[in-house]
Amino acid sequence: MARATTAYVCQECGASTAQWSGKCPGCSAWNTLVEEVTSKSGPDRTPTGGKVVALQTLDAEVPDAPRISSGLAELDRVIGGGLVPGSAILVGGDPGIGKSTLLLQAAAALANSGHTAIYFSGEEATAQVRLRAERLGIASAPVGLGAETGLAHILKTLSGKETAPDLVIIDSIQTLWSDQLESAPGTVSQVRACAQTLVRYAKRSGAAIVLVGHVTKDGQIAGPKVVEHMVDTVLYFEGDGAHQYRILRAVKNRFGPSDEIGVFEMRGDGLREVANPSELFLGERDNTSPGAAVFAGMEGTRPILVEIQALVAPSPLGTPRRAVVGWDSSRLAMVLAVLDTRCALQLGTHDVYLNVAGGLKITDPAADLAAAAALVSSFCGVALPAGNIYFGEVSLSGAIRPVGHMSGRLKEAEKLGFTAATVPAKLGEDTGGTGLQLDTIAHLSDLTARLAPPERA
Ligand code: TYD
Ligand code: MG
């Protein structure tokens, strides 16, 4: 007979130990070890009595998954063209970022187009949700509203309907509790069990289900990470308090691309979709002062132009300050080192500040050249040409390497009235059709030679 033993398994990384401790020996997270029953010894536990599965080929006809438009074009774009019936979506984000607002607006738009949408709020009373709906001007939309946190009651309500609703929103998964478990709402086991039951309901009934999950830093309640693997699509809603822009980013998507973003603006009357984010991010640009370069970036399949601002100033400190907002600080360190070593710019005694205007966070490596242009421009006190955009990856040798989607970047810049582009010398793909004047550079020193007066370079 198998001997049951207990092991303590980390809920973050899966490491298992025989003894409980406050800190996981695997990932050093605190309070993540949970007791689980395992059986180490005993007979072979291979299951018996299965049936033979009929294997299929890969090339059979598959109908496209039917999609229902959520009524918000930016949301549709991020999830790959609309809601897939029977799918589960997780929307994560910091508290107060606008998840409830976004989903209430989507539910209302869907309900107004003749579909059925149900919104379960576990955090706000129905009166509060109604008040919000009134403020958003969507109070007349036929959304089914419920304030409930008991999983059993929610399932009973949903399965009592003759036809399954098209969309069910659970706001939030961390407030739900299942009476099958003794732990408190918001714990890993509750969040996981409730999500599993709801995902199963979605698959069975054909309703698309959206789970809202707060991102938590203190670990008091389980974050959305514990349900990411169960759902079909994971979206994160980001933004910061200082800006009105909100970015909805797909990080996992079984039914579409996983690098698409949707851009919204939070206003007094709710979230407004931003169809042309470049215009927004370049909005209040002052293109006469040194240190600003326009970067033609790509977010998913969409080109987005943003301004990268740099300030390089002599430092009174022994170890000069390096501060960066919206870009990777190690990437900045790399570009600075290349400017220093390969282009002989003495940046080592200067404080460096780099900022991506508008609150966007850039991960595209093509931003290297634009950041370098902004840095050199600020260092030399020479403003960059106003109608010029920049993109290209900087390698450690200082060579400028080609990047993806070059024609898309150029097209977007042309559409917005830019006239010239500083781009990698080896243009990998066809960029012949562009109306922009192309200024190709092979090495970063070509750029510094153009901007820096000889005595400084
Ligand atoms: P909310 O959707 O409640 O955030 P979450 O569900 O992610 O916690 O949004 C809350 C914030 O949004 C709140 O600080 C107020 C702001 N807000 C507006 O600026 N305009 C609006 O129309 C609404 C409804 C909210
Ligand atoms: Mg909320």
Q: Which residues surround ligand 2, an ion (CB under 5 A)?
A: 100
Q: Is 135 in the pocket of ligand 1 (CB under 6 A)?
A: yes
List the beta bridge partners of residue 68: 83
Two tokens, residue 186? 């918001």
Q: Is 98 in the pocket of ligand 1 (CB under 6 A)?
A: yes
- Predicted TM-score of the model (pTM): 0.78
Q: Is 268 in the pocket of ligand 1 (CB under 6 A)?
A: yes
To test the pocket of ligand 1, the residue of 103, 247, 266 to mutate (highest count of ligand atoms within 8 Å of its CB) is 266
Note the pLDDT of residue 317: 87
Note the pLDDT of residue 457: 43
Note the pLDDT of residue 370: 96
Is the separation of the CB atoms in 420 and 436 below 8 Å?
yes
Closest ligand 1 atom, residue 269 Cα:
22
Assigned CATH class of 73-275: alpha beta
Note the pLDDT of residue 456: 47
For residues 246-259, one letter each, b for 16 or more C-beta atoms within 10 angstroms of the residue's C-beta and e for the rest, the string is: bbbbbeebebbebe
One CATH from 3.30.70.260, 3.40.50.300, 3.40.50.20, 3.30.230.10 for 280-451: 3.30.230.10
Note the pLDDT of residue 405: 87
Cα–Cα distance for residue pair 359/354, rounded to 1 Å: 12
Q: Is 100 in the pocket of ligand 1 (CB under 6 A)?
A: yes
Is the separation of the CB atoms in 366 and 393 below 8 Å?
yes
Q: Determine the angle formed by the axes of helices 329-342 and 444-451, rounding to 10 degrees.
A: 70
Separation of 192 CA from ligand 1 center, angstroms? 26
Note the pLDDT of residue 455: 53
Closest ligand 1 atom, residue 102 Cα:
2
Q: List the chain residues with pLDDT less than 50.
A: 1-2, 456-457
Cα–Cα distance for residue pair 104/98, rounded to 1 Å: 10
User: Cβ neighbours of residue 282 under 8 Å, at least 6 residues apart?
Assistant: 294, 305, 306, 307, 357, 416
